[in-house]
Amino acid sequence: VSSMEVLYPQQVNACVIEHPNKEAFVAWLEESQRKFQTQFQHDQRPLNHKTSPFCYLEEENGTPVFVGGCDDTLAFFRERTKTTRPTTTSPIRNHENDVDNEAASYDWDLVVIGGGSGGLACSKEAAKLGQKVLLLDYVKPSPLGSTWGLGGTCVNVGCIPKKLMHQSSLIGEIIHKDAKQFGWNISNASFDWSALVSAVQDNVRSSNFKYRVELRDKKVKYENMLGTFKDAHTLTLTNDAKKKGPVDVTFRRAVIAVGGRPRPLLYPGGEHAITSDDIFSRHDPPGKTLVVGASYVALECAGFLSGMGFDVTVLVRSVLLRGFDQDMAQRIGKYMASEECGVSFIHGSVPISIEKLKNGQLKVRHTHGEEIYDSVLNATGRYPDVDKLNLPAAGVTLNPKTGRILVKNEQTSVPHIYALGDVIDAPELTPVAIHAGKLLSRRLFGNDPTAIMDYTKVATTVFTPIEYGCCGLSEDDAIASAGQENIQVYHQHFVPLEWSLSSELRVMSKECYVKVIIDTSRKNLVLGFHYLGPNAGEVTQAVSLAMKMNATYDDFVHTVGIHPTTAEVFTSLEITKESGEDPSAASCCG
Ligand code: FAD
């Protein structure tokens, strides 16, 4: 046993913690180990077993019995724990000895708080692995009263309605700016905001329904209730709107996946501003709109509204797309501000007040002036939605700097309580929450200690009028991490074939660009990929696979492209930024 602990600590721990009386079992093991060590000095080594470890067991009559090596011993204990311990948990769990009172009985093996991307994925996987799972999802209405169904931010007020509206604006662009050159005569084309919202909301409601059916099929119990911790193993559930609760439930483990909500605008009259929680379900057209903020949500909303023909201004306090590559952010800003796209930007200014006028319009005073708008859309960032959880009752601690839940591998300060998705300090993206949720369940209930979420090299796309996809480090971060002397940037401008019949002005203003940042001291390892152009999400998704496999610049340029595509641009990057040469694409077909 002693050598097994050295060689295979996780497996031995897994055996030990499954024993019904852990303390007595550990004491017995230690005592046996001493005894067997003494005995071993006098004993003959078992003839049929030539490698370490040698594992013995003291059976009831006190005679040591040779069990075998590591595999035999694990098989022995697996068999034993299966028959002696009636439990709903997997017989061999991972090394995280997380439950304080293993023998106690609880209403649920797992309660997941939050039915968004992370919570849904985690609960379904846990149920698949034999756990008795309760999923809570409750939407607190936005200050303007918007609510929605099961599925969380992504499906109701995030990625999905946003991408559908982005698509609507791309269609508008094609109709108004490109169709004629491609032979189409589309006269009298007009846009109907309310029809779009109805179609988007139909799509959302059908997803809400599908989620409910999936939970039922996968045997996850869903309750449309708000969860609040009473203590470290109890949650109080309420739904005031439906006059349900309060009711207490106990759990062996809990996962907090409550996501985030838009930060309110704390200026006089800030309550008149709508947010991304409201825009996708609002049937009145927003009209002339002021977007406050320069986050990706701000620029995406400004972009699709402008593409639909609304007069849009963005009020920017400091930089566009903080946290993203600033060279790329400026290129996006330049295109959005161009005559072709037509978004106005007011830089270096913040709101002072919003006054609602008698006709319903909003008079906005900001540090650089004042103006009247039909709508103000506040997109100044998001906060973690922990308010109603009563985390102190459970003992879960927050990061004082960000207000998000502190975790290590999703485990909070309370070992049997976990957190994931937008509520922790991780990239705020749906696939991140989904992946982390699935892996956590596999780790906890599927006996897979290797199922650990890797938060690096996560690709993402900003769906602005010119789309931006990226993976890995920004140019500034790459320089900071590898040193300027080791960084080389290959870049290129390009014109997608799809645009080649469009007006020259349109093509010139909508500048497509790609850059790959490499570390020359690590065999030209690609540290960052940045792409500005059509279908950025599709292109970047594929590149992220290569980067995850540590692709180098040579791998990129030795890849044979698909012609004619925009993605093929990364297979022919030959001009470095350092060289100062013009990075415009050469002729298209050879
Ligand atoms: P959420 O999906 O937010 O789910 C949390 C759920 O928990 C919510 O339903 C909430 O109401 C509920 N809840 C909160 N408190 C309680 C409680 N006490 N009891 C019960 N239930 C509770 N990501 C991308 O990858 N791509 C995109 O293109 C993209 N676009 C976006 C566009 C917008 C406008 C926004 C706002 C976000 C976008 N995101 C995008 C981000 C993505 O939506 C989030 O990263 C993702 O939804 C986070 O999932 P989650 O499970 O952490 O939380």
For the CA of 386, the nearest atom of ligand 1: 15
Q: Which of 154, 207, 438, 441 to mutate to test the pocket of ligand 1 (most atoms within 8 A of CB)?
A: 154
Q: Which of 153, 224, 383 to mutate to test the pocket of ligand 1 (most atoms within 8 A of CB)?
A: 153
Q: Residues 448, 454, 455, CA angle at the centre, nearest 5°?
A: 145
For 284-327, how does the pLDDT look when each residue is reduced to its tens digit (9 = 90+)? Answer: 999 999 999 999 999 999 999 999 999 999 999 999 999 999 99
Angstrom distances, CA of residue 440 to CA of 189, 317, 448? 50, 38, 9
Cβ-contact 204, 197 below 8 angstroms? no
Question: Which 3-state string (H, E, C) describes 167-219?
Answer: HHHHHHHHHHHHHHHHCCCCCCCCCCHHHHHHHHHHHHHHHHHHHHHHHHHCC
Query: Which residues make Cβ contacts (< 8 Å) with residue 62, sequence separation at least 6?
Result: none
- Judge if the beta carbon of residue 263 lies within 6 A of ligand 1: no
For the CA of 260, the nearest atom of ligand 1: 3
Cβ-contact 464, 300 below 8 angstroms? yes
For 235-290, how does the pLDDT look when each residue is reduced to its tens digit (9 = 90+)? Answer: 999 999 999 999 999 999 999 999 999 999 999 999 999 999 999 999 999 999 99
Q: Which residues are catalytic?
A: 563
Could you check whether the bond before residue 465 is cis, i.e. omega within 30 degrees of 0?
no
- The residue-averaged pLDDT of 8-29 equals 53
For 405-426, how does the pLDDT look when each residue is reduced to its tens digit (9 = 90+)? Answer: 999 999 999 999 999 999 999 9
For 541-570, how does the pLDDT look when each residue is reduced to its tens digit (9 = 90+)? Answer: 999 999 999 999 999 999 999 999 999 999
Looking at the predicted structure, is the pLDDT value of residue 4 above 70? no
Cβ-contact 574, 516 below 8 angstroms? no
Average pLDDT, the chain: 89
What is the predicted ipTM? 0.99
Give the distance, in angstroms, between the CA of residue 259 and the centroid of all CA atoms in the same chain. Answer: 10
Give the tokens for residue 409.
């591998």
For residue 537, with 0-12 CB atoms within 10 Å meaning exposed, 13-18 middle and 19 or more buried, which class applies? Answer: middle
For the CA of 389, the nearest atom of ligand 1: 18
pLDDT at position 16: 43
What is the DSSP-derived secondary structure letter of residue 152?
H
Give the tokens for residue 314.
């963005």
Local structure of 584: helix, strand or coil: strand
Question: What's the N-to-C CA distance of the chain in angstroms?
Answer: 67
| Ligand 1 center from residue 447 Cα (angstroms) | 28
Looking at the predicted structure, is the pLDDT value of residue 189 above 70? yes
- Judge if the beta carbon of residue 227 lies within 6 A of ligand 1: yes
* 314-329 per-residue burial string, b: 16 or more CB within 10 A, e: under 16: bbbbeebbeebbebbb
Cβ-contact 527, 517 below 8 angstroms? yes
pLDDT at position 590: 67
Q: In which element (H, E) is residue 55 found?
A: strand 55-58
Confidence class for position 177, pLDDT limits 50, 70, 90: confident
Q: How many Cα atoms sit within 13 Å of 204 on the Cβ side?
A: 27
